[in-house]
A and B are shown apart, each in its own frame.
Chain A
Amino acid sequence: MTASQTEPAPHSKSRFSTVLPYLLVAPPILMVFGLIFFPALQSTLRTLTDAETGAFSLARYEMFFADKTSVTSLIFTIQIALESLLGLFVICFPLALYLRFNTSRIATGVQMISLLPMFVPGIMSAYALIRFVRGRGLFETLIYQVSPLLADAYYSPYVKPEGIVIGLIWEAIPFTVLILLAGLRQLDNGLIESAQDIGANRWYIFTRIILPLMRRSILIAFCLNFISMFGAYTIPYLLGPAAPQTMGVLMQRTLQDYQQPLEAETQAVITFLICSLVGLVYVQSVSGERVRKG
């Protein structure tokens, strides 16, 4: 047994093992390219060319931005997504902190409840929310039991922008809690304890220790939720107003009701571009972290 005899075996093995991972990731990558990137690129190029001459043209974008309805929809969608995200963090941050630092039985129950929306299909939660929040719905009836005067003042968010925000927040809670909780679980208890030892108060610990270390989790939750909220359809369609509408609903209406596939494509490409910008931020934050970790 000499070294030269054993050499070929590990060599061929290592060649196979270098190729294997690429083989394994090839199908999903091909699929993503074939089903998403390629059609998206095609669409994007099509929106940038004149259908007749084939020359470069911004005419379709000029049309989009000259049309009051589509611009209103775009702004409305961004607003809805940002408002929903704000509400989402206001609800999920305290919830995640509570679940991280509390180990009681109640906390386990709360965690289970907070994950519940994940298991309810979107269309069902939309109808459930309608029945809950609309005028004379369950919520108003409950308020009425407490005080009829309060029920008179009840403002139903159904078929209003607020309806969309409530629906989107409800749908996104489980995912966000999971991401934030995962980030919080990575925090070293020692850091917090030593800060407490030298007299730091809770607010100080939260803003100076927890928040900075949570940067990445927050960014992930922000980006992924923004993308899904921006392109949401079921909730804005069923809970939102007839005007203005979000991009998802507008696209569907443009394509099916107005039978204007070109305009719908332009709307889709603009939506896609905005979402991919946010996606880029996400990819950078994730891969940046990896490089730093080396």
Chain B
Amino acid sequence: MRLSKWIVRAIVLGLMLALGVVGVHAQEKSVINLYSSGDTNITDWFQNVVIPAFEAEYPQYTVQFTNSRAAGDEPIIDRAIAALTSGDDPMVEVMDIDPRGFASSIEAGLWYEPTVEDIPNLADVIDAATRLTPLAAAYRGSQVLIAYNSEMIAEEDIPATFAELLEWIKANPGQFVYCRPDKGGSGGNFVRRAVYEVSGKDPSVWTPEFDQSLADKYFPEAMALLQDIHSSIYDNGAYPAGNNPVLELFASGEVSMISAWSDQAIQGINRGFLPETTKILQFSDLPMPGGYTHLAIPKNAANLKGAQDFVNWMLSPAGQSLVVEVIGGFPAISWDMLSPELQERFNSVITDNVPTWPGGDYNPLLTKAWYETVATNIDPNS
């Protein structure tokens, strides 16, 4: 009798404790909703590397990750804009996007502008990364470069400049491919490099302020360069629909030279997806453009503090090391802040020269020009 009473008491106490712990636990953990529509290497990296590391350091947060690659980021942003007017929870704290690609969101004033007060590590971000937009925090960079199979190409034939590459492509028809400029940055930045080529190899000409006359002046010339190599591109001018299809053609040996993102190429070599004989090169005259990827926070995010803490951690040397180590990206902070071993290991890609294409209104025009003149190979002047 007495014993059973104690047992009941113990059980009740145990239950209360359990409930209490769960209750406190649930109160303590606040959710950060993170969205990314990046390629698989990026979304895998977020899910399997970044989030566990962040949650280990900040146990008070739970990061809820959503891969928005299939549906795109537009619906999420539209929902956040709608929530901004209605005062509802937008259900999103951090997005792996550049707000400049979403005009309606800028018009609606959706984005929180990161400041050093809220996000102290922002102070360490290098100029090249911060000058792009005040609406989001740049957190990793990558650059497009040329990957080639050293088994199939003689050392002395390897082009060193963009002009030499064009010559090489024409001399080796079917051996080079880049993807459609709007379907993958490895193709997009190849096309933009052609624009740099005809505008005096001076990226400073292209500032974020849109200037129609520059587009009118240089785009047709750049398109003419690309038209010239059109029939020498893989399979008489077949442009795959993305970065990965290009890498696959290269991996199968169907082509021997491609334009590729630095991070995807390095990761591909490390994982054995690309042949061991794969080598990467950057033009000696002017590198191909790259870009910085941003984390954007809607100003109506329910967990604004959590979003700020997440971005702040991402910009810490710990977070930035994961960028370099795991996905072969460039850090947004100075290389000096990372460990010497890392700097040593990635010696071949460390560069301070990452021309950044301004994007914005130039992009639709350039994409359109490419589709209508290069892909169809129709002379714009005819």
Residues of A within 8 A of B (CB): 68-69, 130-131, 134-137, 156, 158-160, 237-238, 241-244, 253, 256-260
Contact = CB atoms under 8 A, between A and B. Distances in A.
Contact of A243 (B248, B364, B371): B371
Contacts of A136: 252-254
A69 B371 contact: yes
Interface stretch (B215-223, B232-240, B336-344): B232-240
21 contacts: A69-B371, A69-B372, A134-B252, A136-B253, A136-B254, A137-B252, A158-B238, A159-B235, A159-B239, A241-B239, A241-B375, A242-B371, A253-B371, A256-B74, A257-B182, A257-B363, A257-B364, A257-B367, A257-B368, A258-B367, A258-B368
B103 interface: yes
Nearest to B245: A130
Contacts of A260: 364
Contacts of B238: 158-160, 241-242
Contacts of B253: 136
Contacts of A137: 252
Interface in B187-239: 235, 238-239
Q: Which 4 A-B residue pairs are closest in the complex by CB-CB distance?
A: A243-B375, A159-B238, A242-B375, A243-B376
Given A69-B372, A257-B182, 16 more contacts: A69-B371, A130-B248, A131-B248, A135-B235, A137-B252, A156-B235, A159-B235, A238-B245, A242-B180, A242-B238, A243-B375, A244-B376, A253-B367, A258-B364, A259-B103, A259-B364
A243 B363 CA distance: 18
Interface of B: 72, 74, 103, 180, 182, 235, 238-241, 245, 248-249, 252-254, 363-364, 367-368, 371-372, 375-376
A130, A137, A238, A241: residue with the most chain B Cβ atoms closer than 10 Å: A241
A96 B59 CA distance: 61
A3 B238 CA distance: 82
A258 B182 CA distance: 10
A274 B363 CA distance: 31
B237 to A, nearest CB: 8
A250 to B, nearest CB: 9
A160 B239 CA distance: 10
Contacts, number: 60
Contacts of B240: 159
A244 B72 CA distance: 24
Nearest to A260: B364
Contacts of B368: 257-258
B241 A134 contact: no
Contacts of A130: 245, 248
Given A257-B182, A257-B364, A238 B372 contact: no
Given A156-B235, A256-B72, A257-B364, A134 B371 contact: no
A136 B251 CA distance: 10
A224 to B, nearest CB: 25
A257 B249 CA distance: 25
Contacts of B245: 130, 238
A93 B103 CA distance: 51
A156 B254 CA distance: 11
A254 B310 CA distance: 35
A82 to B, nearest CB: 22
Nearest to A137: B252
A242 B74 contact: no
A253 B254 contact: no
Contacts of B72: 256
Nearest to B181: A257
Nearest to B363: A257
A134 B249 contact: yes
Nearest to A243: B375
Nearest to A244: B376
A258 B369 CA distance: 11
Contacts of A69: 371-372
B241 A237 contact: yes
Nearest to A156: B235
Contacts of B74: 256
A20 to B, nearest CB: 38
B272 to A, nearest CB: 18
B241 to A, nearest CB: 6
Contacts of B363: 257
A158 B103 CA distance: 35
A237 to B, nearest CB: 6
B365 to A, nearest CB: 9
Contact of B182 (A134, A159, A253): A253
A134 B254 contact: yes
Contacts of B103: 259
Contacts of A253: 182, 367, 371
B239 A242 contact: yes
A160 B240 CA distance: 10
Contacts of B241: 159, 237-238, 242
A255 to B, nearest CB: 9
A136 B372 CA distance: 30
B208 to A, nearest CB: 17
